[in-house]
């Protein structure tokens, strides 16, 4: 499944996808009021347009037949957690794949693209937070080479949850992890009319 860098015109589709996949993942596990507060803060045309315009952010998307079916939001910024051991860390801020694709390797393709992208830009490590009640995602990240660096917190609406902090060193070899030319360094997606 092709992975590409999202464009400004993807903002609305990403806002809808982001909200839908968050609901799919956490409904029934997080109180509805906090879920709604978090969704209102995080997803919407303005929020995703701002993320796409932010030079520190890269949004990678999985696309099939013109439909967005997964995304990874990467952010190049200093970590707020001392346990992140890298000099030039890249945060995987959000990582979501449509349920119809789970267990078919799409997440692996998207993560390979994310790690390639980060390594090719000279990042020496990637890090992310995952809810400690999300064992499938924790297993998936372990399969992708992440290791546990301790417990951190994550606010959702008015609740504060316990997350695992996961880290993965990167080196130049990781830049070739993804076979997808659209996330290789120097690539510019051609404008679509
Ligand atoms: C975590 C996630 C990204 C993994 O992506 P994926 O494309 O399913 O990854 P894989 O194909 O490698 O599958 C991961 C594992 O889950 C299992 N799995 C995933 N979906 C499954 C399903 N519907 N039925 C049975 N097993 C499934 C796979 O067998 C695999 O196990 P294995 O490593 O022992 O083979 C994806 O499940 C997802 O988006 N989940 C919801 C969002 C989420 O939790 N994001 C993380 C937030 S921090």
Q: What's the pLDDT at 177?
A: 87
Which two three-digit tokens encode residue 95? 């990582």
Atom number in ligand 1 closest to CA 96: 39
**Integer CA distances (angstroms), 131 to 12, 141, 162, in order:** 26, 12, 6
CA nearest ligand 1 atom 17, residue: 103
Q: What's the pLDDT at 40?
A: 97
Instruction: State which H helix or E strand residue 190 sits in.
Output: none
The C-alpha atoms of residue 79 and residue 50 are separated, in whole angstroms, by 20
For ligand 1, is residue 146 a contact (CB within 6 Å)? no
Give the residue from 98, 72, 101 showing the smallest Cα distance to 183: 72
For ligand 1, is residue 114 a contact (CB within 6 Å)? no
Q: What's the pLDDT at 15?
A: 98
For ligand 1, is residue 130 a contact (CB within 6 Å)? yes
For ligand 1, is residue 78 a contact (CB within 6 Å)? no
Give the three-state DSSP class for 150. Answer: strand
Instruction: State which H helix or E strand residue 35 sits in.
Output: helix 32-42
Q: What's the pLDDT at 90?
A: 98
For ligand 1, is residue 90 a contact (CB within 6 Å)? no
Atom number in ligand 1 closest to CA 140: 14
For ligand 1, is residue 20 a contact (CB within 6 Å)? no
- Which residue reads 């360094």 in tokens? 185
pLDDT 10s per residue in the chain (193 long)?
A: 899 999 999 999 999 999 999 999 999 999 999 999 999 999 999 999 999 999 999 999 999 999 999 999 999 999 999 999 999 999 999 999 999 999 999 999 999 999 999 999 999 999 999 999 999 999 999 999 999 999 999 999 999 999 999 999 999 899 988 876 666 544 443 333 3
Q: Is the dihedral of CA 83, 40, 59, 76 positive or negative?
A: negative
CA nearest ligand 1 atom 42, residue: 96
For ligand 1, is residue 25 a contact (CB within 6 Å)? yes
For each of the domains in the chain, give its residue range(s) and CATH number, in order of start. Answer: 3-183 (3.40.630.30)
CA 55 to ligand 1 centroid distance, Å: 30
DSSP 191: P
- Which residue reads 């979501």 in tokens? 96
Give the residue from 132, 128, 89, 111 showing the smallest Cα distance to 174: 111
List the beta bridge partners of residue 128. Answer: 166
The C-alpha atoms of residue 3 and residue 88 are separated, in whole angstroms, by 24
Q: What's the pLDDT at 135?
A: 97
CA 191 to ligand 1 centroid distance, Å: 32
Which two three-digit tokens encode residue 142? 């372990």
Q: End-to-end alpha-carbon separation of the chain, Å?
A: 23
Which two three-digit tokens encode residue 15? 């806002």
């Amino acid at each position: 499944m092709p992975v590409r860098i999202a464009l400004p015109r993807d903002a609305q589709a990403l806002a809808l996808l982001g909200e839908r996949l968050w609901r799919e993942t956490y409904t029934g596990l997080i109180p509805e009021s906090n879920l709604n507060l978090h969704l209102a803060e995080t997803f919407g045309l303005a929020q995703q347009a701002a993320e796409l315009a932010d030079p520190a952010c890269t949004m990678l998307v999985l696309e099939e037949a013109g439909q967005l079916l997964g995304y990874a939001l990467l952010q190049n910024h200093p970590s707020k957690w001392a346990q992140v051991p890298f000099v030039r860390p890249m945060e995987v801020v959000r990582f979501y794949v449509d349920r119809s694709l789970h267990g078919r390797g799409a997440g692996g393709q998207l993560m390979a693209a994310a790690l390639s992208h980060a390594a090719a830009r000279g990042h020496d490590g990637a890090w992310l937070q995952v809810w400690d009640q999300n064992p499938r995602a924790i297993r998936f990240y372990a399969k992708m080479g992440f290791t546990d660096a301790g417990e951190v917190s994550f606010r959702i609406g008015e609740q504060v949850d316990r997350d695992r902090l996961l880290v993965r060193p990167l080196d130049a070899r990781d830049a070739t992890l993804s076979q997808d030319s659209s996330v290789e360094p120097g690539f510019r997606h051609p404008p679509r009319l």
